Structure 1
Amino acid sequence: MTSARNFTDDAAVQEDPRAAAVAPRPVVAQLPKYAAGKPPAVIEGLQPYKLSSNENPLPPLPEVLAAINSQHSIQRYPDPLSTALRTELGRFLDVPSEDIVTGAGSLGALVQILQTFAGRNPDGTADEVVYAWRSFEAYPIMVGLAGAESVQVPNRADGAHDLDAMAAALTDRTRVVLLCTPNNPTGPALTTAQVEDFLAKVPSDVVVVIDEAYTEFVRDPEAVDGIRLYRNYPNVIVLRTFSKAHGLANLRVGYSVANQGLTRHLRVAATPFAVSSLAEDAAIASLKHYDQVVERVQSLVDERERVVAGLKDLGWKIPETHANFVWLPLGADSQDFAEFAGTQALSVRAFPGEGVRVSIGEVEANTRFLALCANYTKGPGVS
C-alpha cells in the first residue's frame, strides 16, 4: 500500500521519478501558492498565540457545540442544497432562500461564481476578472484555475481600493469584478456611496462580487451593506461566511446571495454536498443565538480599537481597519518583523516586501503584540 503524501510537499513528489511523467496544466505552474498562516513557535516560558490566520480566538457558542455533538448521521450525505440553513438565512437576512447558494466557506462560494461566469471561451480567449491588489491572496489562484485572467489594480496609498482605477481597467473581456470589503489584508472598508458610484460605471452584464467575510466587525455607518445593494443591482453577488464572526472556520460554511437569474446558474457549478450536515446544524444554531455572537464580536472590536490606539500612541502609521486584523506596511522589513514576533511566541502573516497582517487575538496576545511593536524600531513613522 502506498502512503498518502501532502500535495504541497514538493520534495516528496520529486523523490519519486515516476512523478515526472505526470504534468499539471501549464497554468498551475504560473499561479502563486496559497500560504496559510503558520502556527507560533514554542518558546519556553511564553504562551504561544497564533495571530496569522484571522481566526476568531473565541470558541463557538455552547449552543453550537451542542448542535455539533447531537449530530448522529455522519454516515449519510447532507442535503446538497442546505435547505434548512438557507431557510434560516433567508429569515435572518430578509431575502428569499432561493437567492442563497451555500459553499465550503466564502472561498468555496467564490469558486462557484468564477467557474460559472469567468473562464476561457471556445475561441481560446480568456475572460478577465478585475480586483484590487493587494487583496485576498486566493483570488489570483482561483481566477487562474477557472481559466480566466487576473487584472490587478493597485490599492491606494491608504490600503483602500482605487475604484476609479478599477473602473478604468474594465474592458469588453471583463466578466467579474471582486470588491473585498473590508479588504484583506489591509483593512479599509468601502462605503455605500463609493460602491454605488462604481456600479454606475460597470456594464450590466459584468458580475460584481462584494466579498464581505468580515462584515460583522464593521462599525462605520457609511460602510456598504452588500445585501441592500443586491436588491437594487441584478449583477451584484454578495459573499459571506461563518468562519470569522461565528468562529466556525474549521467547518467550512459560507454562502453567496444573488438574484435568481444568477443563482440558477450558480447551482449548476455548486460542488455537491460541499456543506456537511454538521456544519449546517452548527451555522443554524449560531444564527439562532446571534445576540451572543454580536457580544463576542464586540469584544474583539473593542480589542481591535485598543490595539489601533496603542499602535498610534507608539507612533505607528497604519491603514484604517474595519476587520479583525491590522496591517503594518513594513515593506522590506516585513519578514524581519515576522521573525521578531516569532521570538515572542507570536505568529503573524508576513507578505514579503509589502507588509504584515496581524489578527486580533486573545487579550494577552494583543498586549504582547503591542509590547513587541514598542521594541521594534523600524515601524512606519517610528524614528
Structure 2
Amino acid sequence: MSNHFLLRDALAEFPPYVPGKPPASAPGLKPYKLSSNENHLAPLPGVTDAIADAGRVPANYPDPKSTKLVTAIAAHLDVDEAEVVPGAGASEILSALTNITLEAGTSVVYPWPSFEMYPILASARGAEKRPVPLLEDGRHDFQGLVAAIDDTTRLILLCSPNNPTGPSVSTSELDGFMAEVPAEVIVVLDEAYFEFATAAEVVDGMDAYRKFPNLVLARTFSKAHGLAGLRVGYGVADPRIASALRQVIAPFSVTSAAQVAAEESLSRNDEVLVRAKEVAATRDQLEQDLRDAGLTVSDSQGNYVWVSFGAEDAQAFEAACAEQAVAIRRLSGGVRISIGADEALERVREVAKSFAESRTA
C-alpha cells in the first residue's frame, strides 16, 4: 500500500495555527490562562439562558441564513441586511475574503506581526504573501503598505487594534491610505477588538465603511461579548462583496446556540461596552505598571498588552510566568498578555519586577 498522498504543495509553506498554551500547574497556585485574549468576565444575564434554550432540539440544523441575528446586526449598525454576512467567528469571514480574492498569481498585503491567520490563509490560497513590518511603536507602516501594492494585489488586511502589538489605526491614517489604494482592491479592517479601544483618534469602522465602498469590516462576538467558545462573527460589506462571501462560507456554520447568544448579547450592547471599558482601564494600569518595572510596552487598545523582547528574554519571561501558573503568549518580537483576573495580573507584575531587576543586577 502506498503511503504517499496527493496533497497540495502549499501545505509545506506554512505551519498550522498554534493556539495559546494552557497554564502550567504550580503547587498552591490557581492556574490562569492569559494566552488567548479571552474575556475573563462572567456571561451577561440572559446569554446562558438563550444558549440553553437553543440546545433543547440539537437534531435540527440551524437557520442557514442566521436571519434574526442578521436583522439585529443590520438594525444595530443601520445598514441593509444584504450588507451583513454572519460566520463562525471573524476568522471565517477572513477565510472567505481570501477565498473570493486570492489564487496563484495574486498577492495579499498585510502588516506584520499581526493576526497569525493572515499568512496561513494567504498560503492556503496559493497567493504571494507581502507582509510589511510594523513601525517601532507597533503601528502599521502605511507608507510601506502602499509601496507593497501592485497590479497583482487583490486583498489588503489591516488590523485595528493590531493583534498582538495593540495600537489602533487612526482616522487620518486610514483616510490617507484608502486614497492611495486602487478602488477595485478590497481592503479589510479587522476589528476583533474595537470595543476595547479608548484613544480619541481611533478610526470608527462604520464611519470609514460608509466612505469607502471597497472597505470590508470583520467583527466578532468572541472578545468583548465573551462568546469565543460559540464561534460567531460577521462581516459588513458592499452587497456585491457580501454576496460573494455567502457563496464560499460553509452552510450552517453558525450554530443555533451561537445565533441566539449573539443576538441576546447584541441587545445588551451598552452593557458590553461598559464592561469593555472596564477591561481597558485594567489594561492601561497594567501597561503603566509594566513600564514602571522597566519593560518596553506598546500603547495597546485591545484587551491585552504587548511587551517587546528579544527571543531569549521572551522565552525567559514566558517561563517565569509559567512558574507562577500563568500562561501568556510568546510571539516573534515579544510576549502578549491578555487581561484577566486581578490575581493573575498581580503575578505578572511580580514576575516583571523580578525580571527587570535580574536584568539590571
Provide the TM-score with structure 2 as the length reference.
0.96
CA distance in 2, matches of 1:178, 1:128: 11
CA distance in 2, matches of 1:175, 1:280: 31
Give the ranges of 4+ consecutive aligned residues of structure 1 lying more than 4 Å apart after TM superposition.
none
Aligned match for 1:90, one of 74, 97, 112:
74
Q: Aligned pair 1:372/2:351, yes or no?
A: yes
Aligned to 1:79: 63
CA distance in 1, matches of 2:323, 2:298: 26
**Following superposition of structure 1 onto structure 2, how do residues 205-284 of structure 1 map, counting pairs within 5 Å?**
205-284=184-263
SS of match in other structure, 2:156: strand
Identity %: 43
Would you say how many aligned residue pairs link Structure 1 and Structure 2?
A: 359
Aligned to 2:179: 200
> How far has the Cα of 1:135 moved from its partner?
0.5
Q: Is the 8 A contact 1:32 1:140 kept in 2?
A: no
Aligned to 2:320: 340
**Cα deviations across residues 198-243 of structure 1 (Å, max 9, x unaligned)?**
0000001100000000000001121111111111211100000000
CA distance in 1, matches of 2:254, 2:304: 27
AA matched with 1:104: A
Aligned to 1:168: 147
Q: Is the 8 A contact 1:319 1:327 kept in 2?
A: yes
Q: Is the 8 A contact 1:335 1:351 kept in 2?
A: no
Aligned match for 2:93, one of 102, 105, 109:
109
CA distance in 1, matches of 2:4, 2:192: 40
Aligned to 1:69: 52
**Following superposition of structure 1 onto structure 2, how do residues 266-305 of structure 1 map, counting pairs within 5 Å?**
266-305=245-284
> How far has the Cα of 1:378 moved from its partner?
7.6
Q: Is the 8 A contact 2:293 2:356 kept in 1?
A: no
> How far has the Cα of 1:69 moved from its partner?
1.0
> How far has the Cα of 1:19 moved from its partner?
8.0
CA distance in 1, matches of 2:281, 2:199: 14
Give 5+ residue unaligned stretches, structure 1: 1-17, 121-125
CA distance in 2, matches of 1:301, 1:228: 22
Mark the CA change 1:256 to 1:174 in structure 2 (over 3 Å): closer, same or farther: same
AA matched with 2:88: A
CA distance in 1, matches of 2:174, 2:270: 29
SS of match in other structure, 2:3: helix
Provide the TM-score with structure 1 as the length reference.
0.91
> How far has the Cα of 1:20 moved from its partner?
3.0
For the aligned residue pairs, the C-alpha RMSD in angstroms reads 1.5
Q: Aligned pair 1:54/2:37, yes or no?
A: yes
> How far has the Cα of 1:74 moved from its partner?
1.7
Aligned to 2:308: 329
Q: Is the 8 A contact 1:159 1:186 kept in 2?
A: yes
**Cα deviations across residues 98-120 of structure 1 (Å, max 9, x unaligned)?**
10001110000111111011113
> How far has the Cα of 1:379 moved from its partner?
9.1
Aligned to 2:9: 26
**Cα deviations across residues 224-264 of structure 1 (Å, max 9, x unaligned)?**
11111111211100000000000000100011001112112
